[in-house]
Amino acid sequence: MSETVTEGPSGLQIHPMDQFVVKPLFGGEHINFYTPTNVTLWMALAVLCVIALLVLGTRGRAIVPSRVQSVAELLYGFVYKMVEDVAGKDGLKFFPYIMTLFVFILFANFLGLIPMSFATTSHVAVTAVMAMAVFIVVTIVGIVKNGFGFLELFWIKAAPLALRPMLALIEVISYFVRPVSHSIRLAGNMMAGHAVIKVFAGFAGVLGLGAVAPILAITAVYALEMLVSFIQAYVFAILTCVYLKDALHPSH
């Protein structure tokens, strides 16, 4: 942790953002799109975790499940029920997509909490791609399913006629802001928590052995971050379900 604090000319220097730098794994300066970087490493670890839990863990196909298998079943049931409850029965054919997003974000978030690791989901580039994918897919599904009727999403029949154009404008803006809020929410949460931990770690490095308060603060923030890691994965998945529901059933 001490590498974030370097004694420069101005005394205390904390670099809470250093942990987010994308670096090539095998040296070099230039980053091509195919260069294996720390992004590659931590995403690959997330894939391995997913395979370990959801493939190796369920290998036994046991009627009375092992511990790992019951965790996998719990995760499956959790997301399945969420899709069914929020997006409806016809949303279930999108269950594998939502499950993919959910388990990736979940494992990326938790792997990012390992000290010295790299949190891939703290990058807007990553979350924006996922949010845009959701946005584009949901919009296409909405248009294919409902045709012109998809525009009912913006034309609120419950409101007085005079207000409807105004509301339609607001609805259209809010619709196109969705991918932004969807992605920034996740990246911002992850980045903020990790940066805060790093700042406290910087204080602890300066104070040395007497750093009781920063260490307690790190512990507390770390616990909070574990909660945030799960909640943000959940929020991302459930918002995807909500958008999907809007696309499948656009009328309010």
Partner 1 sequence: MSSETTVVDTHAAGAAGSGSEAVGMPQIDFTSFPNQIFWLVITLVIIYFVLSRISLPRIGAVLAERQGIITNDIAAAEDLKQQAVEAEDAYNKALADARVEAGHIVADARAEIQGELDSAMAKADAEIAAKSAESEAAIADIRKDAMKSVKAVANATAKEIVASMGSKADAKSVTAAVATRLKG
Positions touching partner 1 (CB under 8 A) are: 3, 6, 15, 17-23, 25, 29, 31-35, 37-41, 43-44, 46-47, 50-51, 54-55, 58, 61-63, 65, 69, 72-73, 76-77, 95-97, 99-101, 103-104, 116, 118, 120, 122-126, 129-130, 187, 191
Q: Secondary structure of the chain in the HEC alphabet?
A: CHHHECCECCECCECCCHHHCCCECCCCCCCCCCCCEHHHHHHHHHHHHHHHHHHHCCCCCCCCCCHHHHHHHHHHHHHHHHHHHHHCHHHHHHHHHHHHHHHHHHHHHHHHCCCCCCCHHHCHHHHHHHHHHHHHHHHHHHHHHHHHHHHHHCCCCCCCHHHHHHHHHHHHHHHHHHHHHHHHHHHHHHHHHHHHHHHHHHHHHHHHHHCHHHHHHHHHHHHHHHHHHHHHHHHHHHHHHHHHHHHHCCCC
Looking at the Cβ atoms of 79 and 238, the one nearer to partner 1 is 79
Q: How far is the CB of 134 from partner 1 (least distance, A)?
A: 11
Q: How far is the CB of 18 from partner 1 (least distance, A)?
A: 5
Looking at the Cβ atoms of 69 and 109, the one nearer to partner 1 is 69
Q: How far is the CB of 159 from partner 1 (least distance, A)?
A: 39
Q: How far is the CB of 77 from partner 1 (least distance, A)?
A: 7
Looking at the Cβ atoms of 34 and 148, the one nearer to partner 1 is 34
Looking at the Cβ atoms of 87 and 153, the one nearer to partner 1 is 87
